[in-house]
Amino acid sequence: MPSPPATSPSSKRRNLFAVAAYYSDICVGSIACRLEKNEGGSIRVYIMTLGVLAPYRGLGIGSKLLNHVLDLSAKQNISEIYLHVQTNNDDAITFYKKFGFEITDTIQNYYANITPPDCFVLSKFTTQAPQKK
């Protein structure tokens, strides 16, 4: 059984995890994830949000944030990471593909208030062996 992040201070919201990115003291981006249990009992990571303010994109901030989460999950021996992306968000899809994510599913009418309302599920599976960068 992999344990939740060792640094987590509060037991109640143990399955939540968030990081903010600062660019010369300005908060410009963040990533938020949560831990979920598979039917089989294994743990996977769901990336709820990942965002960087528009003017600060293309500086590698998003990559750093995502890598941070990937590293942590690797350390925890978590083998699956997944997220939802709106089907027309090509930038995001190319971004995630760079990190080894693949489209594994399409959900119709996932979003209630934006068009198109469909989304892809992007997932990344890693081998059980912990990766070292």
Residues that bind another protein (CB under 8 A): 5, 7-10, 13-14, 16-28, 30, 32, 53, 55-56, 59, 64-65, 68
Q: Is the distance from CB of 72 to CB of 31 less than 8 angstroms?
A: no
Is 68 a known active-site residue? no
Q: State the DSSP string of 18-77.
A: EEEEEETTEEEEEEEEEEEE-TTS-EEEEEEEEEE-GGGTTSSHHHHHHHHHHHHHHHTT
Nearer to another protein, 112 or 129 (CB): 112
- The β-bridge partners of 81 are 45, 124
* Residue 22 is a catalytic residue: no
Pick the catalytic residue from 23, 56, 84, 110: 84
Q: Minimum CB separation from another protein for residue 52, in Å?
A: 10
Cβ 107 to another protein shortest distance, Å: 27
Cβ 110 to another protein, closest distance in Å? 24
Hey, which residues are catalytic here?
46, 84
